[in-house]
Amino acid sequence: MRTVKGTTFSSLSLVVFCLFAFVIVCQRTVKAQSLPPAKYDGFVYTNHRVDSDTIMIEAFFDPVCSDSRDAWPPLKQAIQHYGPRVMLTIHLLPLPYHDYAFATSRALHIVNLLNPSATFRLLESFFKHQERFLTDQTLNMSKVAVVNDIVKFTAESVGNSYYSAIKSGFNDSKTDLKTRVSFKYSTSRGVFGTPTFYINGFALPDPGSTRDYKGWRSIIDPLLVAQGRKSENSPHLFL
């Protein structure tokens, strides 16, 4: 009996050890694949030359956060005013208490891979129709049904010709990973709510609050003056 028990225990120990080793290897593989990412996280709003004097603005948004929605128009207006003197990067932080923040964020990553010029168009569509994907509206729907609705909505926003590619994107582990990396990047910067803003690497006070156009001007103008550059009143529009 002792021999049998000993053999059984040894076999069980070996199985447990192999399982533990497998889990550790998998965890390390996932970490190696996701962090650091091959490309810097975020969606760049402006595509122009950047130099050492360019003011770098980072905004952390949740596509289904009403405060993010309200913060976008005045920030967009300010970015258009300053033109190449500023650079804006949007990072996504899908908040866990918004049921479909992750799925809508994933849709943005999918579209950014398919057609980067349509990314901000989709973001604005999500902002405009947020109520469609809020918990109250999706309470009696299955997760599959909501994701299918997000796919349909996304295709309608960026072009129905992308429907199949968008749908396939939700079955692609790479887009899931990109969305997770966005979440991890945001939290690694100490961001816990949206909207949150960083300018030249430093967080602005009052995260979660919105700023109007004059508020952005009051922040950026002094930085330009400190650089010895004028704050022009004429807008700098670009595509």
pLDDT digits (tens, 9 = 90+) for 4-25: 444 454 554 543 344 444 444 4
Quick one: tokens of 236?
Answer: 């700098």
pLDDT at 51: 83
| Cβ–Cβ under 8 Å, residues 106 and 170 | yes
pLDDT digits (tens, 9 = 90+) for 138-185: 999 999 999 999 999 999 999 999 999 999 999 999 999 999 999 999
pLDDT digits (tens, 9 = 90+) for 53-71: 999 999 999 999 999 999 9
Burial of 60 (0-12, 13-18, 19+ CB in 10 A): buried
**What is the rounded distance in angstroms from the CA atom of residue 172 to the CA atom of residue 174?**
5
